[in-house]
Amino acid sequence: MKRFFSSALMRGLFWQFIGTLVGAGLVTAIRAAMGLSVTDKFFFTEPAWVLGAFFGVLFFMVGTGVTSDWIKWARGIDPPEHHEERFQGWEKYVNISLDHKVIGVQYAITSLALICIGGLFALIFRTELAQSQLQFLTTDLSLFGQNGPQLYNTLMSLHGMIMIVSILLGIASAMNYVIPLMLGAQDMSFPRLNAFSFWIAVPAAILLLMSLVLGGFDTGWTGYPPLSARAPVGMQMFFLGVFTAGWSSILGALNIIVTVVRMRAKGMTAFRMPIFVWAAIATSIISLTATQLIGLSFQMVMFQRLFGMGFFDPGKGGNPILFQHLFWFYSHPAVYVFVLPGLGIISELLPVFVRKPLFGYRWIAMSSMAIALVGFVVWAHHMFTSGMNEYLRVPFMYSTLLVAVPTGVKFFSWIATIWKGKITTPTPMLFVLAGIVAFLMGGLSGPPNATVSVDLHLHDTYMIVGHFHDTIFGGFVFPFFAALYFWFPKATGRRMNETLGKLHFWLMTPAFFVLTLGMMRIGLLGMRRRIVDYDPAMGFDSTHMVLTIAAFLIALAVLIFLYNFFNSIKNGEKAEGNVWNSRSPEWQVPSPMPAHNYDQPFEVVGEPYDYGLAGSKYVEFIKSEKSAHN
């Protein structure tokens, strides 16, 4: 326990606390000197909280020690090029490590923790929605300076953003863990930057949670002004949390791109890369170039609140709709950031379990790039009812519908991959299949939203909520679980319990489809999104009760998964060989993977997915006296 409290994580949290006090104290002192008010509803004033939060993040990063090598370089001291692991066992994961595999696991654990928090918030407000009228989030309730409906708004908004951050960390975990292994690299291109990208997500998550106790906010995850310009201090913590998490995303994406460009094994030409690498590249291009826009739009509201800069205040010549353009310019492509790696995982795992080549490899690779690029010119379909120039809605309808074409290519290719295979369905494959069906439901419920006139009805209803959850479960949640079950033996040398895995699957999948189809059903009938209460006259009570039960079943399934996950680390069945009989290079060496990956470098000598072609191989290890770690 003592070693836990002296870990980098706890050090960082301690320093974040100190940093927050220092920043807030500084502003408070200046305000006192200027004769301004020094305290407010939540002790410090809003500017004090903002600088405090900012200092908290800086102090966290320096306090953990993740920046110490850079500081040494700046002072002219040379730190060693290769860090050897100083910690063993669980301690590796709460301390600074530069090993991409450790960072991948850190990302995964943090992502799972955030999924649990975001899911808990969902269960709370889902329970309130089980019946019309207010049951426990009533106006008499008072918690963290919020009454029931205000707390509902905060929880609903935070559910959105915490889940988004957990998805970003989830895809980062898969990319970080797997990509260097697939490329045959010893690590990522920039290991220190890699550690930095992970660790900055921790104070970001803390800031998001701080918004809950500092009065909350009621805008939904979109943070539209003018409402966000009037919300309590919690709004600022939300903005800063997202701003900070954005750094993780941008720097992580940069690292992935450079690693793929620079560190591929001999013979691994562009069209011989594993398909997941293509998906990661497509995703990283978006993260690297679009994330700035959400940071910018939130920063502008932050400055409107702090300094009275009326960017979005019509009273000062500002324009609230401008915010929506800036916001969606990231936040639409962002959904492709969330789903492309998951679709890559589906394409990566399918051939292994159907024992056949991936059908149309190049088309699937190019469809990821096409989705990423088209994704940049569709943002205004979120704004068909916003009051923007109404003629512009037509070109955005065309561009949005175009997304269906490369997405269709993926589906058809997957079906052709499965066709005439020799299919087995262990747990990872089950999640891959559910991912395909869920993403299909999301994909099919999308085009009606893209056609302007129909969207006038569908926009901001539960139809959208259902559609979105289908795409995200299909594009992220199911593939992420598939990836965890699939690569778990690689990381631990043991496999997860198959019976519990199947129980997890068969509880979660039906419940999930009931949940999203039910959402779409009442959405079409006029159930608006983001409301704490609905008119009993609309007759939605029984459906909402079913949705709430489904949500609890999903939560139960995730609990079973968590038990299985943590229990199997120590007690799982030993699995040190090529458990899935995969051609991918990481499975050609025993599990778990040693610290600096492959003892011998490998060379790509064939196609990645030539299952069923007798005598073919994807990689061959180079026998050499001089290989790196003998």
Partner 1 sequence: MRHFIIVGILVIATAALTYFGLTAVGLMPVEASVQSLAIDWLFNYEIIAISFLFALIVVPLFYSLIVFRRRKGETGEGEYFEGNTPLEIGWTVAPLIVVIAFAYMGTYSLGEVRRVDPNAMEIKVTGFQWNWRFEYPEYGVTSNELHLPVNRQVVLKMESIDVLHSFFVPEFRMKQDVVPGRVTEYRVTPSLIGDYKVRCAEMCGTSHAYMGAPVIVSSAQDFDAWIKLQNAPADPVANGQKIIATNGCLGCHTIDGAKLVGPTWKGLYGKQETLADGSTITVDDAYLAESIVNPTAKIVQGYPPVMPPFNLKDQEIADVIAYLATLK
Q: Which of residues 499-528 bind partner 1 (CB under 8 A)?
A: 521, 524-526, 528
Of 194, 193, 202, 190, nearest to 111 by C-alpha is 202
Beta bridge partners of 146: 143
Given 192, 305, 356, 490, the residue binding partner 1 (CB under 8 A): 356
CB of 395 to partner 1, least distance (A): 9
Of 438, 453, 441, 369, nearest to 403 by C-alpha is 369
d(CA 592, CA 102): 12
Hey, which residues between 316 and 335 contact partner 1 (CB under 8 A)? Answer: 318-321
d(CA 413, CA 393): 32
The one-letter amino acid at 222:
T
- Interaction of residue 360 with partner 1, rule CB under 8 A: yes
Given 264, 272, 381, 459, the residue binding partner 1 (CB under 8 A): 459
- Interaction of residue 390 with partner 1, rule CB under 8 A: yes
- Mention every residue, 6+ apart, whose C-beta is less than 8 A from residue 609: 275, 351, 357, 358, 361, 583
Task: Please give the backbone phi and psi of residue 349, each rounded to the nearest 5 degrees, phi first.
Answer: -85, -30
CB of 399 to partner 1, least distance (A): 9
Contact 275, 358 (CB under 8 A): yes
Q: Which is nearer to partner 1, 228 or 248 (CB)?
A: 228
Q: Which residue has the tokens 């962002």?
A: 334
- Interaction of residue 386 with partner 1, rule CB under 8 A: yes
Q: Which is nearer to partner 1, 112 or 464 (CB)?
A: 464
- Interaction of residue 444 with partner 1, rule CB under 8 A: yes
**Residue 226, preceding peptide bond in cis (omega within 30° of 0):** yes
What torsion do the CA atoms of 159, 160, 162, 166 make, to the nearest 10 degrees? 120
Stretch that binds partner 1, among 259-267, 336-344, 595-603, 610-618 (CB under 8 A): 610-618
Q: What string marks each residue from 147 to 166 as x (binds partner 1 by CB under 8 A) or -? A: x-xx--x-------------
- Interaction of residue 145 with partner 1, rule CB under 8 A: no
Given 398, 506, 563, 566, the residue binding partner 1 (CB under 8 A): 398
d(CA 20, CA 16): 6
Stretch that binds partner 1, among 48-56, 257-265, 289-297, 385-393 (CB under 8 A): 385-393
CB of 199 to partner 1, least distance (A): 33
- Interaction of residue 298 with partner 1, rule CB under 8 A: no
SS (H, E, C) 589-612: CCCCCCCCCCCCCEEECCCCCCCC
Stretch that binds partner 1, among 277-285, 297-305, 389-397, 542-550 (CB under 8 A): 389-397
CB of 521 to partner 1, least distance (A): 8
Q: What string marks each residue from 535 to 554 as x (binds partner 1 by CB under 8 A) or -? A: x-------------------
- Interaction of residue 628 with partner 1, rule CB under 8 A: no
CB of 157 to partner 1, least distance (A): 9
Given 198, 278, 338, 361, the residue binding partner 1 (CB under 8 A): 361
Q: Which is nearer to partner 1, 198 or 379 (CB)?
A: 379
Stretch that binds partner 1, among 28-36, 217-225, 275-283, 561-569 (CB under 8 A): 217-225
Alpha helices by DSSP H, 45-147: 46-64, 68-74, 91-94, 100-129
Q: Which is nearer to partner 1, 154 or 291 (CB)?
A: 154
C-alpha distances (whole Å) from 532 to each of 17, 59, 125, 156, 461 are: 33, 38, 8, 9, 13
- Interaction of residue 226 with partner 1, rule CB under 8 A: yes
- Interaction of residue 86 with partner 1, rule CB under 8 A: no
Given 454, 546, 559, 622, the residue binding partner 1 (CB under 8 A): 454
Stretch that binds partner 1, among 203-211, 232-240, 585-593, 605-613 (CB under 8 A): 605-613
d(CA 439, CA 363): 19
d(CA 277, CA 270): 10
Given 71, 120, 392, 423, the residue binding partner 1 (CB under 8 A): 423
Contact 386, 392 (CB under 8 A): no
Given 51, 108, 251, 433, the residue binding partner 1 (CB under 8 A): 433
- Interaction of residue 135 with partner 1, rule CB under 8 A: no
Q: Burial, 97: exposed, middle or buried (Cβ in 10 Å; 0-12, 13-18, 19+)?
A: buried
- Mention every residue, 6+ apart, whose C-beta is less than 8 A from residue 572: 488, 492, 494, 495, 496, 497
